[in-house]
Amino acid sequence: MKKSIYIAFAFVMATLAGCKDYLDIQPKDKLIPNGVEDFRLLLDDQWTMTQTPGIADIMTDDLFLTEDQYGDVPQEYFQRAYTWSKDIFAADDDARDWGAPYKIIFYANTIIEGLAANPAGLSEIRNQVEGEVDFYRAYAYFNLLNTFSKQYNAATADKDPGVPLRLTSDITVSVTRNSVKEVYAQVLTDVNNAIKLLPAKAAFKTRPSRAAAYALAARIYLQMGDYDQAMAQANAGLSLQNTLLDYKNVDPNNSTFDAVFPVNVVSNPEVIFISSTTGMYAKNYSISSNIYELYNPHDLRTSLFFREIPDQGNYQFIGSYNDGGRTNVPSPFSGLSVAELYLIRAECYARKSETAKAMDDLNALLVNRFEASTFQPLAAASPKEALKTILLERRKELIFRNLRLMDLKRLNTDPEYAITLTRTLNGETFTLPPGDNRYVFPIPAKETTASHLEQNPR
């Protein structure tokens, strides 16, 4: 019976999703799961709950597409994102990068209201379910902010348009765009609640744990430029999970799929939480030779992350931690990892002028990425030198993790690290200067029409 309730709810949701966006659905009937067991079934729908926007990776400087690859991109709006077009979404585009997070938010709001209406149940299970809901809603809103809103700026966040905050499952209620400050405040409320309620580790990596909530909080505070809090959250996360995967023990020929990392994502000790990007699969991603050349010849990531495309001089990305279907998550990995926490803490140390500690964290990561007896610990003469080194290693380690756009947006606010992106396609050169309006994706046309939302300037 529990399974049938879940299937019925999922069917209704799928039907609604085929009609309109979650901000504008007018349902005739409501089907609300009842009880903690039903809520558990909904939360374990990993195809819904662990999806993150993927369009951000398309527009960053990590990606390089040949003319043939560009022509094979399945969604035209991905093509327009790749060339930083002013208009991206056509009137009839169903943009999953907007719809998927709001579906998560709808599930979360439904469960939150269900828990309030049905207080009975074992407290431990109930707390875990509530903590997971808070985590998922925070994660969804944070990803929406970084795709469809300006970079957080404390001086303007109360005026900058964020995304609509929907905190009820009643999808007939009209919405407007809340400010960036308001949405971040809700994100932090949710993630801090999750930290209080979640177990230190979860039974499955597709379920959030307290370690995952700390890791998400560290990512959020880093994006906000609050380095004290980012470091504190990274410390807390690493106190619960700190094992790194030693790439010397990974066989690059062990893959069972032609474009995946050859270690099962579940058994990978540095994976804290599994999530995947929507849209293009890892096998569609390529990088230019310029990025490949950033890696040391003895760096094992060159063979585990990339393979050369014959007769093109370019390299294909094969380094997604999500393995080939064994966990039903073949899309690129966008989750939370121990490696990211080390890099966050290292950056925070550098920004706080604790150079030695910054480099210690970085070297603790890199010693697990090089061939045996070839790694020489890196040193820095100043905090500035340490920060530059750490940011470079962050780009190399976290490539195609749905993080590069976030980094570009936050780093472009500092002239020291701001860059202009350039790419050439079919003989035409495209550029994206730092701080350009095109760093913020337009809200899909369907949504601005249906809900009368303010559009982002392009």
Task: Beginning with the edge strand found earlier in the chain, give each strand of the sheet holding 314-317 in spatial order.
Answer: 286-287, 314-317, 306-309
Strands 51-52, 276-277: pairing kind? parallel
Mean pLDDT of 16-45: 63
Q: What is the per-residue pLDDT across 388-405, written as a single tens digit (0 to 9) for each?
A: 999 999 999 999 999 999
Element (H, E) at 411: helix 404-411
Q: What is the mean pLDDT of residues 110-126?
A: 83
Q: What phi and psi values does residue 97 have, to the nearest 5 degrees? A: -65, -25
Lowest mean pLDDT among 114-123, 173-182, 229-238, 449-458: 114-123
Report the pLDDT averaged over residues 109-128: 85
Helix (H) or strand (E) run with residue 195 in it: helix 180-197
Q: Which pLDDT score is estimated for 46?
A: 87
Whole-number pLDDT of residue 327: 43
Q: What is the CA radius of gyration of the chain?
A: 21
Residue 384, C-beta contacts closer than 8 angstroms, at least 6 positions apart: none
Give the Å distances, CA to CA, from 438 to 113, 322, 429, 431, 458.
Answer: 37, 30, 16, 11, 6
Q: What is the pLDDT at residue 241? A: 98
Q: If phi over 0 gives left and psi between -120 and 50 gives alpha, with beta otherwise, what is residue 410?
A: alpha
Tokens 């540095």, residue located = 270
Q: What's the pLDDT at 420?
A: 98
What is the per-residue pLDDT across 216-246, written as a single tens digit (0 to 9) for each? 999 999 999 999 999 999 999 999 999 999 9
Reported as a single tens digit per residue, the pLDDT across 411-424 is 999 999 999 999 99
How crowded is residue 298: how many other Cβ atoms within 10 Å of its Cβ? 14
Among 421, 436, 437, smallest CA distance to 63 is for 421
pLDDT at position 121: 63
Average pLDDT, the chain: 88
The answer on pLDDT for 326 being more than 90 is no
Per-residue confidence (pLDDT) for residue 264, from 0 to 100: 81
For the record, the structure tokens of 387 come out as: 């920060």
Tell me, what's the pLDDT at 402?
A: 93
pLDDT class for 257, splitting at 50, 70, 90? very low
Token reading at 249: 């023990």
Strands 314-317 and 306-309: antiparallel
Checking if the pLDDT of 34 tops 70, the result is no
In this prediction, residue 281 carries a pLDDT of 54
Q: What is the dihedral of CA 84, 139, 145, 224, to 10 degrees?
A: -110
Integer Cα distance of 399 and 419 in angstroms: 17
> What is the pLDDT confidence band of residue 330, given thresholds at 50, 70 and 90?
low
H helices within 198-242, ranges in order? 210-224, 227-240
pLDDT in tens, 443-453: 999 889 888 89
What 3-state DSSP class applies to 302?
helix
pLDDT in tens, 260-293: 577 888 889 999 999 998 866 545 678 877 899 9
387-399 per-residue burial string, b: 16 or more CB within 10 A, e: under 16: bebbbebbbbbbb
Distance separating alpha carbons of residues 356 and 388, to the nearest angstrom: 14
pLDDT of residue 350: 98
What is the C-alpha separation between 104 and 133, in angstroms, rounded?
9
Report the 10 Å Cβ neighbour count for 309: 13
- The owner of tokens 């396609």 is 425
pTM for this structure? 0.92
Can you give the pLDDT at residue 323? 58
What is the mean pLDDT of the segment spanning 11-33?
Answer: 45
- Contact of 220 with 186, CB cutoff 8 Å: no
Using the structure block, give the residue that is written with the tokens 């470079």. 392
Q: Report the percent of the chain where pLDDT is more than 90.
A: 67
Q: Give me the residues paired with residue 430 across strands.
A: 423
Which pLDDT does position 74 carry in this prediction?
A: 76
* Closest CA relative to residue 50, chosen from 330, 326, 273, 282: 273
Q: What is the pLDDT of residue 328?
A: 46
In eight-state DSSP terms, residue 245 is P
Higher pLDDT, 259 or 159: 159
CA distances (Å), 279 to each of 18, 148, 308, in order? Answer: 17, 17, 23
For residue 16, give the nearest of 230, 172, 217 by alpha carbon.
172
Give the whole-angstrom CA distance, residue 196 versus residue 128: 10
Query: CB atoms < 10 A from the CB of 152, how many?
Result: 23
**pLDDT-derived band of residue 4, with 50, 70 and 90 as boundaries?**
very low
